[in-house]
Structure 1
Amino acid sequence: MQTEQAEQGLRERKKAATRRALGEAALGLAMEHGVADVTVEAIAAAVDVSSRTFHNYFSSKEEAIVSVAADRIEDSVEALRSRPPEESNWDALETVMVEDLVGASGQGDPLAQFLFIHENAALLSQEMTAVKCAIDRFSQVVAERSGTDTARDMYPHLQAGAAMLCTRAALTAWFADPAADVVDLTRQAFAQLRAGLPEPQRDTGEP
């Protein structure tokens, strides 16, 4: 029984490694050559598998390209689950979001990847699907940490969605000014949200 479980575990790890390798190859080729000029055949060849094997994991090259960002989010979900239980949800969420932005998962330059995805309209629908899945996954962990229920309570969905929005707002500001510090922008976004999002002071032009 233990041998069967070990073999099954090994198969699952190999499948996960193949999927991740295909996603990284797809993103790398797309960033080098452009989305339109990348084929499923080229992605499969880069990992030394067949096109049929590629389609066992992804329905399209666009899904494969965005999968690196989706996998990074999944890593962040697990990182949130491992945060100390006595830590506040806001502190825990801010920590994992910042770690993701600085590439704590070791999967290349996340900022360059985020920028590439947002500059390619063909990838945006897949990216939005990944974001929705991310909010759902983060909501589950927030519910576990807060003793709430995703089926009955709005709290986990609101907090997970708000945390994701902090990251997206920071990235939007960074896209407009790449010289800015995206980590600082993210922390500013969390600080404003945690303060109740006070309205900014308007400049009336009066002395």
Structure 2
Amino acid sequence: MASLRELKKLATRRAISEAAARILLREGLEGLTISLVAEESEVSVRTFHNYFPSIDEALFHFCLDTIEEFLPVVAAYPAGMTMTEVFEDIAVKGLTDEDSEFGSIATLFQIQEHMSARSRFIPHHEEIHAVLHKFLGAFIQLYPELKEAEIALYLQVGAATIVWTADELNRLKVDSPQQVARREDKEAFIRRAFTTLRAIK
């Protein structure tokens, strides 16, 4: 059992990594600075460096923690749901509720896209692929009739659809806030996106 000191350190690490992810989604890469992450997580810049050598490392640990939390969520989807239905459900649950929006699988996909683009800058970046394979494994368990390559492709397409939908909802929030003000409007937008995906021949 972890000591009180160890639990406090884990909580601080989580607060820093979540702040980095939150700022990335809110401000974009250009607004993501160590000083802002430290301020938002209520620690000093020195404390940030005690936990992470870089912002990329903080984001990587956010991905690690989030994947661990959502492996049982993926495993809980019932047999018979298509992968598109699963991803649509993930998007609706993650992008319509303001309280759960940040800690969703949808958020993970957005952060992971950034991490994959910058993986060569991260020490031990090969760990990213090992972690993503673990996530892939959860879907392999859910769809044993599919080949691993097929599932990997479905994951890429589903994740890309979620990321695009999240970006569009954020853009609409700024440009036309009245169009996506209510949860029902967000859900309708998400479902239209996945209806379009299913219509591709």
Task: Report the TM-score when normalising by structure 2.
Answer: 0.58
The residue number in structure 1 matching 2:160 is 165
The residue number in structure 2 matching 1:194 is 198
* Contact 2:88/2:194 (8 A) holds in 1: yes
* Contact 1:24/1:68 (8 A) holds in 2: yes
CA distance in 2, matches of 1:64, 1:163: 25
The residue number in structure 2 matching 1:203 is none
The residue number in structure 1 matching 2:141 is 144
The residue number in structure 2 matching 1:204 is none
The residue number in structure 2 matching 1:38 is 35
CA distance in 2, matches of 1:147, 1:27: 33
* Contact 2:75/2:138 (8 A) holds in 1: yes
Q: Which has the larger radius of gyration?
A: 1
> Which residue type is aligned with residue 147 of structure 1?
P
Q: CA 1:174–1:17 in 2, change beyond 3 Å: closer, same or farther?
A: same
**Which residue, out of 89, 94, 119, partners 1:95?**
89
Q: CA 1:47–1:140 in 2, change beyond 3 Å: closer, same or farther?
A: same
Deviation at 1:64, TM superposition (A): 3.1
Deviation at 1:170, TM superposition (A): 1.4
RMSD in angstroms over aligned alpha carbons?
Answer: 4.5
* Contact 1:148/1:155 (8 A) holds in 2: no
Q: CA 1:162–1:11 in 2, change beyond 3 Å: closer, same or farther?
A: farther
SS of match in other structure, 1:154: helix
The residue number in structure 1 matching 2:176 is none
Deviation at 1:155, TM superposition (A): 1.2
Task: Report the TM-score when normalising by structure 1.
Answer: 0.57
Unaligned runs of 5+ in 1: 1-5, 119-123, 199-207
Count of aligned pairs? 176
Alignment deviations for residues 174-204 of structure 1 (CA, whole Å, 9 cap, x no partner): 3443334443332222222223x15xxxxxx
CA distance in 1, matches of 2:186, 2:64: 20
* Contact 1:23/1:68 (8 A) holds in 2: yes
**Identity, % of aligned pairs?**
24
Unaligned runs of 5+ in 2: 120-127, 174-178
In the TM superposition, 1:45-64 aligns within 5 A as: 46-47=42-43, 51=46, 54-55=48-49, 57-61=51-55, 63-64=57-58
SS of match in other structure, 2:81: coil
